[in-house]
Amino acid sequence: MTMPSRNALREYYGIGAQLAPMVHQQDDWRYEVGHPQYVTYLVPPHDVGGQPDVPVIYEEKEEELWELNTYVTCEVLGWRGVWNSEERRRRGNNDLGLSLYYGFPYYGRWIWAAARMLVDKNLISLTELLEKIAEVKARNEQR
């Protein structure tokens, strides 16, 4: 595979940037799209393997307590046989849509996937989930 030209990359990223929730430009969704738009639309937001990009600055970050708790909760759900890793990663984590995918932090997507899966499998009701969320919010507001 040859490296795309600078102009081709600029066009690709320009189209892709329009899909990001913060800068989304309204499109009339015409029946015919050009090849550059077609190629850009085919790439889901989480599938960045092999795509050219600028160097990423890695920072050492101490996980917050909620992130650690989310990780442990999701792992326990797997150990208990409630879900498997494919359900968590593909269906739950990656199928959120652009706005939620880019709008949530990494472990925010995990906990969203866990809550959605618990409701979808009828392990808890949506009402129970909403009541628990309200309870936790009230407890945190008291602090």
- Provide DSSP, 56-95: PPP---PPPHHHHHHHHHHHHHHHTTS--HHIIIIIIIIT
Q: Average pLDDT in the 82-97 region?
A: 74
* Percent of the residues in the chain that have a pLDDT greater than 70, as a whole number: 70
Q: Are residues 86 and 133 in the same domain?
A: yes
**Per-residue pLDDT at 51:** 63
Q: Which amino acid appears at position 89 of this protein?
A: R
**Residue 123 gets which letter from DSSP?**
S
Q: Average pLDDT in the 56-77 region?
A: 88
Q: Are residues 18 and 34 in the same domain?
A: yes
Examine the pLDDT at 1 and tell me if it is beyond 60. no
Instruction: Quote the CA–CA distance of 97 and 86 in Å, as a whole number.
Output: 17
**Per-residue pLDDT at 122:** 93
Q: Are residues 137 and 69 in the same domain?
A: yes
Domain extent at residue 13: 1-58
Q: Are residues 79 and 137 in the same domain?
A: yes
Examine the pLDDT at 64 and tell me if it is beyond 80. yes
Q: What are 5-40's pLDDT values in tens digits?
A: 778 777 777 776 666 554 455 566 667 778 877 777
Q: Are residues 52 and 109 in the same domain?
A: no
Q: Average pLDDT in the 73-95 region?
A: 80
The CATH code of the domain that includes 124 is 1.10.472.20
Which residues are marked as active site? Answer: 106
- 26 by Cβ neighbours in 10 Å (0-12 / 13-18 / 19+) ranks as exposed
Q: What are 103-135's pLDDT values in tens digits?
A: 788 888 888 888 988 998 899 999 999 999 999
